[in-house]
Structure 1
Amino acid sequence: MTRHPRRILVLILWCVTWWVAGAQAADANAAKRAAHPPGAVIASAHALATEAGLQAIREGGNAFDAAVAVSATLAVVEPISSGIGGGGFFLLHDGKTGREVMVDARETAPEAATADAYLDKAGGLDHDRSENGPWSAGIPGLPAALVHLSTKYGRLPLRTTLAPAIRIAREGFPVYERLAKGYASRRDVMERYAGTRAVYLADGDPPKVGEIFRQPELAHTLELLADKGFDGFYRGDVAQKLVAGVNAEGGKWTAEEVASYHVKEREPLRFTYGGWKVVTAPPPSSGGIALAQMLQILSGWNLRTMDEAHRVHLVVESMRRAFRDRTIYLGDPDFVNVPVARLMDPNYAAGLRASIHPDKATPSNLFSGKPAPLEDDETTHFAIIDGEGNRVSTTQTVNLLYGSGMVVPGTGVLLNDEMDDFALRPGIPNAFGVMGFEANAPKPGKRMLSSMTPTFLENDDKVIAIGAPGGSRIITEVLLGILGYDDGLTPQQVAALPRFHHQWMPDTISAEAGALSPEVVKQLEAMGHTVNAGEPIWGNLQTVQWDRRTDTLSGGSDPRREGKSDVLLSKDARK
């Protein structure tokens, strides 16, 4: 049995040597990966917001302080997209402990906002009431989130991190084209309200490109928030004006429900795709679950080897299935039982995958091929990594363009119109063409379902934060961004990727003009898809990356808009 002990011994020694060499090589490769980023990188939808975040870092703050500065500045310079009258989701990673959490600052439904309150005389959905004015607004969450981030995770006082936003609100900033065009499209609604007219018609006419837009009342409200924290917005003078202003326009808010608002810390969702660890938003976001479903469905194919038409076909079919489940199952987890474990189970995804024909579309058979309503400007996103390895991915919004259109007199606060994100009439689509049922019906204090999908990606070599605006299209923008990173693209290439979208109903592939070639469109139509390949651009994706092998930071800011990414290299960031 042992005629050749020397050969066996040599073989054993060779195996041990090979194993040791491999382990040493792995250790050497690991040693090449930097332990901490060489500084900070921020990508946001406006240069002034990016600079405000970098200033917080220069003053000794961390990524969470920078997030407060960026968020508040965006609330000033992007009223078309977000504001302290709205809400958002802040996905956080603590570089020291590795802890991850999502700060849920989603708006909540006032007690009076029952489903019946949004029906017209014929029993249909009153879209004007759900999308415009006081009844369309939920109790804002963004101010509470800024206080929470500052006091629990930051190092700098709110007076420091809010200073840029306060200064810009008081001194003003140049109006850009998107701001002026957005106002023109919503002018008939916004000029219904005295508080809005006082801000946007202060010089006698609507905002024009290049002129300086000032918001002194908003500056004062931000000063109260900086000085008094939570009570500076949710109690006292500002809260009294919010309640009085809403009620004077026919709404029904109470001081008690404003004062009782609070953010919630929620455990993020986690799953893997290929070699990536993905951390993303849990309910009341619908984005994280949908993202997990789509990527786990797609994990059954090697997309890199496919021709473009078949790759798009499979991606669309994954979108179709995820949005169908979004419609039926998802809502505020504090009010309904969301089957998270089942929806994120790889075996469930495998069953959905098995229902996909490799060469034929699966008809939705419920709505016509009407294009999905387009939203690109009503939400904003930013991403941050600092020198300590902390990172933030935040999506914040007021919902539609300029939210409800109503600025509360004496506050400068433009209210959201997030009530439209509830299933106000089950089975009837909202402004984005998506619909819901009982799981997303309004109840007092309940948070409406959202598509916001702030996300982290990580593998052995790279750490990434990514997110986007776009209504229901947020989820598919982030999906395409992740697939782009998996293909080896840079952050800027990911931000520039052409976009296509499917949301189950209507049964149509929506694509930016030029995103799909005529030949690919022809092939998709031959498979049974309806394709609208000529839509305007949408979205405003922002993403940042730390490459641990090269110890470099980089960002990508969507070239479709006026955003900016920037890197601050500093030894002081390594603490």
Structure 2
Amino acid sequence: MSRLRCTLLSLGLLISGALQAAVPDQQAVATAHPFATDAAHQILDQGGNAFDAAIAAAATLAVVEPQGSGLGGGGFFLLRLQQDDGVDYRFLDARETAPLAAHRDMYRDADGKVSRSASLNGPLAAGIPGLPAALVHLAERYGELPLAASLASAIEAAEKGFQVSDRYRTLGGFRLDAMRADTETARIYLRDGELPAEGTLIKQPELAATLRALAQHGHDGFYAGQTAQRLVEAVRGAGGIWQQADLDAYQVVEREPVRWHSQGHQIISAPLPSAGGIALAGILQGLESLPETERGSVQRTHYLVELMRRVYRDRTALLGDADQVEVPVARLVSADYAKTLADSISADRATPSSELGAPRAFNEGTNTTHFSLIDRHGNAVAATLSVNLPFGAAFTVPGTGVLLNNEMDDFAADPAGSNAYGLAGSEANAIAPGKRPLSSMTPTMLENDQQLAVLGTPGGSRIISMVLLGSLEAIEGQPVEQWVSRPRFHHQYLPDHIQVEDDAFSPAERAALERLGHRIKPVGRDYGDMQAVNWDKRNGELSAASDPRGEGKALARRALKAD
């Protein structure tokens, strides 16, 4: 064979490889429940794209994971659109909103004290749901299939039922009293006032009917008509403050994601009202301004903890719904600002949080869900959804199957106090009509010419640090299974200690950190439920992983050609 022919053949193979790498020609899904993973793959096999699959996954999780998400909740969707002329990213804010009758002192009693129970349990704790609007928005703006097709698996799961798992029972145990207090919640999710045994079938025919109305009528199937009437009447009848005007006003907001370049990747993450993207930008860019350290070293951990401390302090003091409060976002996500954070860190001493400003502490709900997926065209979705605490407000609207969120607790009900997750409150996150509460939900993508990483997790205030640690694993070329399984540690400014999983540090590492002045407090359990997918553009392969701490399912496989 001539040298010219060899050269041409080699060039042809290179061009062919480049074309093959341009789209994965595979599909990958990782969700917190096998039903949802299977539903997403089924939609992809039918010719749907990533956004149709996201509807199927989100709706199915809303049925089979009532402890973490639901039609009565909301969330964030980070989208990657593979287009002929390049790649675009979109962010859908489907966060719940405060009712129009809400006000900053709505949880204070006659003595001026904040009632935590009212912001956690029952309909007064519920914001206006965003997930139903998001499902319709995805179908109308981005999907290829009818909404009814994408909701079919969720409707089937609601009718035929799902089996109670150990995770359901564990999380339900934290909310058992509140669940018992509501007749409809107890009827559906308990048995004789107790948590059902593992394997018990939970059927939700009323929720199936609500999903059918959404499939048939779109936005009006939830926010108008009979469903809306039932929602408003039940909430008001039980002491809540919803009005039809709240449902009429609700809209998904498309926002510009937070983007920056760091560690050889473009990083795309959640903007306000999520604190996640801003915090990640500060930590990852701040790390680049500090002396280089070895992966997994005590010095690296020290630097990460000190950066966490500082970005969480900013969260408490500065961040809120940017539609209603002035937030210096451009400055907070800049490399220059990250360098000022890094410059304030001592290499050999932990900074007491009290030295960074007046201590304030606040709350955020722990139970949420996340899924990540990529379709054969290279479209991708990272979505984090929530009802806040497990089983939300533990209030289910009769005739609808809709279990309401208790996201109002994510506001600073007492701007000088704290919320259910120990996160500090601030004026920027005070309750106001129509406002969206600050969140830590952080769906994130990292991309360069070698990979696309898609990840996220539930976990309340610890979400940001989990996504940080997973992102560092991706940046450092570790397999996707390592992103979701690595031991975790966390610092959130207040309380002033490092929260750790039991196996996060060896005795020697713990002793070394304590010599630097860090206090370490084991959480006493594993936490998080990360779902991640990766596209290795060098060989065109997709991989997916589901956190071994949870009960999810991850599957990457060759796409069935449906188009």
* TM-score in terms of structure 1 length: 0.92
1:393 to 368, 374, 382: 382
Out of 425, 446, 456, the residue aligned to residue 467 of structure 1 is 456
Question: CA offset at residue 322 of structure 1?
Answer: 0.4
Deviations 1:143-194 (A, max 9, x none): 0000000111001111111010001111101110111222232111112112
Q: Distance in 2 between matches of 1:40 and 1:476?
A: 28
Identity %: 49
Q: 1:147 aligns with which of 136, 140, 146?
A: 136
C-alpha deviation, 1:113, in angstroms: 1.9
Which residue of the partner structure matches residue 401 of structure 2?
412
> What are structure 2's unaligned runs of at least 5 residues?
1-10
Instruction: Note if 1:564 corresponds to 2:538.
Output: no
Moved more, 112-121 or 549-558: 112-121
- Aligned residue identity for 1:160: A
Contact 1:33 1:549 in 2 (8 A): no
Q: Which residue of 1 aligns with 2:527?
A: 538
Aligned to 2:220: 231
Q: State whether residues 372 and 506 of structure 1, in contact with CA within 8 Å, keep that contact through their aligned partners in structure 2.
A: no
CA 1:151 to 1:371, structure 2 compared with 1: closer, same or farther past 3 Å?
A: closer
1:94 aligns with 2:81: yes
Misfit runs of 4+, over 3 Å? 27-33, 201-206, 301-304, 366-376
SS at structure 1 position matched to 2:90 = strand
The residue type equivalent to 2:26 in the other structure is G
Partner of 2:507: 518
> Superposed, which structure 2 residues align to 1:326-341 within 5 Å?
326-341=315-330
Structure 2 counterparts to residues 37-116 of structure 1, below 5 A? 37-96=24-83, 97-116=86-105
1:11 aligns with none
User: Which of 233, 236, 239 is matched with 1:244 structurally?
Assistant: 233
Instruction: Specify whether residues 413 and 496 from structure 1 end up closer, same or farther in structure 2 by C-alpha distance, changes over 3 A only.
Output: same
Provide the C-alpha distance between the structure 1 equivalents of 2:16 and 2:203, rounded to a whole number of angstroms: 53
Secondary structure in 1 matching 2:471 = helix
Structure 1 residues 356 and 30, CA gap change in structure 2 (3 angstroms): farther
Shift of 1:498: 0.5
Task: Name the residue aligned to 2:482.
Answer: 493
Residue 463 of structure 2 aligns to a residue whose secondary structure is helix
**Gap change, CA 1:552 and 1:465, over 3 Å in 2:** same
How many Å apart are 1:302 and its aligned residue?
5.9
Question: 1:283, CA displacement in angstroms?
Answer: 0.5
Q: Which amino acid aligns with 1:399?
A: N
Check whether the contact 2:360–2:425 (CA below 8 A) recurs between aligned residues. no
**Alpha-carbon offset, residue 533 of structure 1:** 3.1
- 3-state DSSP of counterpart to 2:419: coil
User: 1:309-328, aligned counterparts within 5 Å?
Assistant: 309-328=298-317
Instruction: Tell me if the contact between 2:364 and 2:409 (Cα under 8 Å) persists in the aligned partners.
Output: no
CA distance in 2, matches of 1:235, 1:329: 36
Change (3 A) 1:228 1:534: closer
Residues 365 and 407 in structure 2, CA contact (< 8 A), matched pair in contact too: no
1:358 is aligned, of 325, 347, 359, to 347
Asked if the contact 1:65/1:155 (under 8 Å) is kept, the reply is yes
Using the TM superposition, give the Cα deviation of residue 119 of structure 1 relative to its aligned residue in structure 2, in angstroms: 1.1
Q: Which moved more, 1:174-183 or 1:546-555?
A: 174-183
Q: CA deviation at 1:201?
A: 3.8
2:281 to 292, 310, 320: 292
- Residue 510 of structure 1 and its aligned partner are, at CA, apart by 0.2
Q: Does 1:128 align with 2:127?
A: no
Distance (whole Å) between structure 2 residues aligned to residue 271 and residue 90 of structure 1: 18
Instruction: Tell which deviates more after alignment, 201-210 or 149-158.
Output: 201-210
2:297 paired with 1:308: yes
Distance 2:260 2:521 in 1: 32
Q: CA RMSD in A?
A: 2.3
C-alpha separation in 1, matches of 2:180 and 2:33: 26
Alpha-carbon distance in 2 for matches of 1:68, 1:305: 41
- The one-character-per-residue Cα deviations of 1:322-362 (angstroms, maximum 9, x if unpaired) are 00111111111110111011111111111111110001000
CA distance in 2, matches of 1:497, 1:201: 34
Shift of 1:306: 6.0
Answer with 75-84 or 433-442: which moved more: 433-442
Q: Select the structure of larger CA radius of gyration.
A: 1
**8 A contact 1:183–1:207 mirrored in 2:** no
CA distance in 2, matches of 1:374, 1:255: 27
Bigger shift: 172-181 or 79-88? 172-181
The answer as to 2:226 corresponding to 1:272 is no
- Deviation of residue 368 (structure 1)? 13
* Residue 38 (structure 1) shift: 2.2
Matches of 2:253 and 2:543, distance apart in 1: 31
2:188 to 199, 205, 208: 199
Q: In structure 2, what residue type is equivalent to 1:386? A: D
Q: Does the 8 Å CA contact 2:364/2:423 hold for their aligned counterparts?
A: no
In structure 1, give the amino acid aligned to 2:268: V
Are 1:38 and 1:553, in contact at CA under 8 Å, matched by a contact in 2?
Answer: no
Which amino acid in 2 is paired with 1:529?
Answer: H
Q: Deviations over 1:225-266 (max 9, x none)?
A: 111111110001111111011111111111111122110000
Deviates more, 1:299-308 or 1:62-71: 299-308
Distance in 1 separating the partners of 2:193 and 2:395: 18
Give the total of aligned pairs: 550
Where 1:537 maps in the other structure, the secondary structure is coil
Cα distance in 2 for residues equivalent to 1:415 and 1:211:
23
Q: Which ranges in structure 1 are unaligned for 5 or more consecutive residues?
A: 1-23
Comparing 285-294 with 183-192, greater Cα deviation is found at 183-192
Q: Distance in 1 between the 2:363 and 2:241 partners? A: 29
